């Protein structure tokens, strides 16, 4: 399941053996690949020329040109939506203020200390919850101001662990 944002409108997209569903409704279309990145689509008895103008897989951002008009699409998969629900974001953040525990658990390893510089994606700590080890990574760049918990500490959901 994906959530697509097109011109500030949200759509849920699912795909299975029966085809593609948008917002739970089947998409009755025919699509033929004309060339690499170029497609011909028939939907509701109308023809459309489609082209992939830009595809940034890392940020899940795409630009399509359909009948000469550009459409920007930003996708979120199940993982992105779960991180967002937990209060974490997979995208790059301009300024990180603090890291909160996404769930109750036990800190089994602390990878940073006060004064450390971190970049987006750097591991900060390992949190054991429900018998699983979760590596909590930095959502952006910054300097660790203070560490509010240590290895062996139990933390509650939304408890501040690291401040930037």
Per-residue pLDDT of the chain (164 residues), as tens digits, is: 899 999 889 999 998 888 899 999 999 999 999 999 999 999 999 999 999 999 988 788 999 999 999 999 999 988 888 878 777 665 444 456 889 999 999 999 999 999 998 888 899 999 998 888 999 998 888 889 999 999 999 999 999 999 98
Does this model's pTM top 0.85? My answer is no
What is the CATH architecture assignment of 2-76? Beta Barrel (2.40)
Burial 32-61 (b: 16+ CB within 10 A, else e): eeeeeeebeeeeeeeeeebbeeeeeeeebe
The pLDDT of residue 95 is 59
Residue 162 to residue 94: CA distance in whole angstroms: 17
Please name the residues in contact with 131: beta carbons below 8 A apart, sequence gap of 6 or more: none
Contact 147, 112 (CB under 8 A): yes
The pLDDT of residue 25 is 94
The pLDDT of residue 93 is 45
Contact 73, 66 (CB under 8 A): no
Query: Which top CATH class is 89-163?
Result: mainly beta
Structure-derived torsion over alpha carbons of residues 129, 134, 138, 143, reported in degrees to the nearest 10: 60
The pLDDT of residue 46 is 96
Residue 56 structure tokens: 């940034």
Among 81, 107, 95, 103, CA closest to 138: 95
Residue 98 structure tokens: 């603090």
Domain ranges of the chain: 2-76, 89-163
Helix (H) / strand (E) containing 72:
strand 69-76
């Amino acid at each position: 399941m994906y959530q697509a944002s097109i011109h500030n409108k949200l759509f849920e997209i699912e795909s299975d053996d029966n085809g593609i569903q948008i917002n739970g409704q089947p998409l009755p279309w025919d699509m033929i690949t004309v060339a690499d990145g170029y497609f011909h689509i028939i939907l509701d008895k109308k023809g459309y020329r489609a082209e992939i103008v830009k595809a940034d897989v890392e940020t899940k951002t795409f630009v399509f040109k359909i009948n000469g008009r550009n459409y920007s699409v930003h996708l979120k998969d199940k993982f992105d939506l779960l991180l967002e629900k937990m209060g974490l974001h997979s995208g790059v953040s301009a300024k990180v203020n603090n890291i909160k525990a996404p769930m109750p658990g036990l800190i089994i390893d602390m990878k940073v200390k006060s004064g450390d510089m971190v970049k987006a994606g750097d591991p900060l700590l390992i949190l054991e919850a429900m018998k699983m080890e979760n590596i909590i990574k930095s959502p952006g760049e910054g300097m660790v101001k203070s560490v509010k918990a240590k290895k062996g500490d139990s933390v509650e959901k939304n408890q501040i662990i690291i401040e930037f």
